[in-house]
Amino acid sequence: MVDKAKIKIEIRNLSVFYGSLEVLKGVNLDVEEKEILAVIGPANSGKTSLLRTLNRLNERNEGFRMQGEILLDGRNIYKKYSSDDLRRVMGMIFALPVSLPLSIYDNIAYGPRLHGVKKKSELDPIVRQSLEAAFLWEEVKDRLNLPAMKLSGGQQQRLCIARTLAIEPEVILYDEPCSGLDPVSTTKVEEAMRQLKNQYTQILVTNNTKQAARVSDRTAFFLMGELIEIDRTEKIFTAPRDQRTDDYVTGRFG
């Protein structure tokens, strides 16, 4: 049992429905503070639905309903937070980078400006620190006024991470963040994740089991909407308790 003092997110008896389709089935899961939790499983296992429920993006789906509760630092995210406040605390990085049609600088400054930071003397260190944390500063420091869309795909993904960091979240959610990236860019994103572990709780949904093995502290295996097993990553990949987990991580299905 995880020490309660170290739990950042508690998911209790979570079931998620889109209309009559149940995509998550009675999930119970604790996420530890400042860990990287990988969520793996084949297509249609409920991985992305879990992230969208955590970030409250599912509310935009008319057929969405849920049972159970999700607690962030002991507070129900659907009752104690507005959706905007929650997304400031729990940022999300998507599979395809979504850069704003602005300069690199203004992409990072966008969130802080929305929250009242207007002076360049205050924005400059936020922009630099965010880009440094995302391992992008050295590549763009001399061209911050360049349109962000001019960056490569891997750079744009790290820009999205930096933009999320600029609003000082506590949790970062990744939905297949490297699925469209080349190996070099993937390595840089993974390096950023490992460095960010000192400050942030991170949940990584990935179809790349090797990526989960490389970067995560613990791994959760989902299958057809059910949490089959969660454990330390090295145990999931070397001695899982459930045969279905072993079949998946060894490539026998999925």
Is residue 41 within 8 A of residue 227, CB to CB? The reply is no
Give 66's strand partners: 16
Which pLDDT score, from 0 to 100, does residue 254 have? 61
Q: Which residues lie below 8 Å from residue 131, measured CB to CB, with a gap of 6+?
A: 104, 108, 137, 140, 141, 159, 162
Q: Which residues lie below 8 Å from residue 187, measured CB to CB, with a gap of 6+?
A: none
Give 93's strand partners: 174
**Class of CATH domain 4-249:** alpha beta
Q: Could you tell me the residue ranges of all domains in the chain?
A: 4-249
H/E segment holding residue 37: strand 36-40
Give 227's strand partners: 222
* CA-based end-to-end distance of the chain: 29
CA pair distance 135, 239, nearest whole angstrom: 34
75-124 pLDDT, tens per residue? 999 999 999 899 999 999 999 888 899 999 999 999 999 889 999 999 99
Give 9's strand partners: 31, 72
Residue positions counted in the chain:
254
Q: Which residues lie below 8 Å from residue 104, measured CB to CB, with a gap of 6+?
A: 131, 140, 143, 144, 145, 146, 147, 148, 151, 159
Find the mean pLDDT for residues 31-38.
Answer: 96
Which SS3 state, helix, strand or coil, does residue 245 take? Answer: helix
Which pLDDT score, from 0 to 100, does residue 136 have? 94
Give 12's strand partners: 69
212-234 pLDDT, tens per residue? 999 999 999 999 999 999 999 99
Cα–Cα distances (Å) from 196 to 29, 72, 215, in that order, read 22, 19, 11
Which pLDDT score, from 0 to 100, does residue 101 have? 94
130-176 pLDDT, tens per residue? 999 999 999 999 999 999 999 998 999 999 999 999 999 999 999 99
DSSP state letters, 55-122: TTGGGGSTTEEEEEEEEETTEETTTSS-HHHHHHHEEEE-SS----SSBHHHHHHHHHHHTT---HHH
